[in-house]
Amino acid sequence: MTTELLQVKNLKQYFPIKGGLLGRKINDVKAVDDISFSIKAGETLSIVGESGCGKSTTGRAILRLDEPTAGEIHFQGDDLLSLNKKEMRKKRKDLQIIFQDPYASINPRQTVRQVLNEAMEIQNVLPKEQRYDRMIELLETVGLGPDKLDRFPHEFSGGQRQRIGIARALAVDPKLIICDESVSALDVSIQAQVLNLLKKLQREFDLTYLFISHDLGVVRHISDRVVVMYLGKIVEIGDKKSLFDNPKHPYTKTLLSAIPVPDPKRKKDQIILKGDVPSPIDPPTGCRFHTRCPFATERCVTEVPELRNTTGMKNGHESACHYIEEIESGEMKPKY
């Protein structure tokens, strides 16, 4: 069993809504509401879910790009949330992020050399004289030629820019990289290249990834374990095989049934949910999925389900549903 690199405990991220004459807080957007999980060193943990479920917010909260409302984030024994600004700045060396939009994530006025140099300068990774060689090495690692060093972002394609973003993250020798929809904005062929690059880098540099995505195909390709989020809560967590082969939560089942299958003859057994995702401002009581769940009962409205493990769920696979067994045995039938 490998050690846990990152432990998120009861993380909450509420964004206040201000209104009225005096700009008083009238409510909160509960983007992430009390979630806990951990990432082992060297693994890839993915967070999936639809837009607005809080997956990106979780990533940003771990990096303290937004200050979380409550909770603990333990990274190598330190609680990141209790560090002061200066300590946190030093700690950032170990935690990096690769963003979704390769066009927005690099300062358009900096050359690749300036981008990489700045990263190393901020964290003081290498003495000045050695930085040049390191920059060339980094470019090579991400598959860009040394001639690209003095070019500006607008001279690159999206895939190349994403590689620059990866090089920037690698420049400080991080341990954990958060990939926030890092391949979503790329063409499918480029996606594959970048994903393979990420995998290669993981092997080479012993990296741990927190991979945030809405693309289940991508998640299936890259992850070791998967977290499924719905409306700020974790509904299911488990290792990739167990979760994809044997989803327990009705939401996960719906999500997985939506993966397109490249076979026109196969019968479509896609589950179509009714309604829309409720607002995270006033999320539903009890199980947050009860407004759309075909199995929902009175209990789901009042009682919040905890993540739990039952027979037949292997390798720490847990699901937050009251009726895992009943649905499994066919005792409960979907209402629509």
The residue range among 36-44, 84-92, 233-241, 306-314 that interacts with other proteins, by the rule CB under 8 A, is 84-92
* Residues 8-18: b if buried by 16+ CB within 10 A, e if exposed: bbebbbbeeee
Q: Is 150 in the site for other proteins (CB under 8 A)?
A: yes
Residue with tokens 């409960």: 332
Among 17, 26, 70, 122, binds other proteins (CB under 8 A): 122
User: One symbol per residue from 298 to 317: x for binding other proteins (CB under 8 A), - otherwise; what is it?
Assistant: --------------------
Q: Is 67 in the site for other proteins (CB under 8 A)?
A: no
Distance CA 104, CA 96 (A): 17
User: Number of residues in contact with other proteins, rule: CB under 8 A?
Assistant: 44
**Least separation in angstroms between CB 7 and other proteins:** 20
Q: Which of 185, 325, 174, 149 is nearest to 249 (CA)?
A: 325
Nearer to other proteins (CB atom), residue 172 or residue 287: 172
**Least separation in angstroms between CB 201 and other proteins:** 17
Query: Taking a C-beta distance cutoff of 8 angstroms, is the pair 54, 32 a contact?
Result: yes
**Least separation in angstroms between CB 3 and other proteins:** 24
Distance CA 16, CA 241 (A): 38
Q: Is 82 in the site for other proteins (CB under 8 A)?
A: no
Among 31, 172, 210, 237, binds other proteins (CB under 8 A): 172
Nearer to other proteins (CB atom), residue 180 or residue 318: 180
Nearer to other proteins (CB atom), residue 150 or residue 206: 150
Q: Is 108 in the site for other proteins (CB under 8 A)?
A: yes
Provide CB contacts within 8 A for 110, sequence distance 6+.
118, 152, 153
Among 24, 109, 203, 333, binds other proteins (CB under 8 A): 109
Nearer to other proteins (CB atom), residue 169 or residue 321: 169
Nearer to other proteins (CB atom), residue 56 or residue 252: 56
Query: Taking a C-beta distance cutoff of 8 angstroms, is the pair 152, 28 a contact?
Result: no
**Least separation in angstroms between CB 277 and other proteins:** 24
Which of the residues 200 through 259 are near other proteins (CB under 8 A)? none
DSSP-assigned beta bridge partners for residue 237 = 227, 318
Nearer to other proteins (CB atom), residue 107 or residue 270: 107
Which of the residues 27 through 66 are near other proteins (CB under 8 A)? 60, 63, 65
Q: Is 183 in the site for other proteins (CB under 8 A)?
A: no
In sign, the C-alpha dihedral spanning 236, 242, 244, 249 is negative
Nearer to other proteins (CB atom), residue 77 or residue 108: 108
**Least separation in angstroms between CB 104 and other proteins:** 4
Q: Name the site residues for other proteins (rule: CB under 8 A).
A: 60, 63, 65, 88-93, 95-97, 99-101, 104-109, 111, 113, 117-119, 122-123, 128-129, 131-132, 136, 146-147, 149-152, 154-155, 165, 168, 172
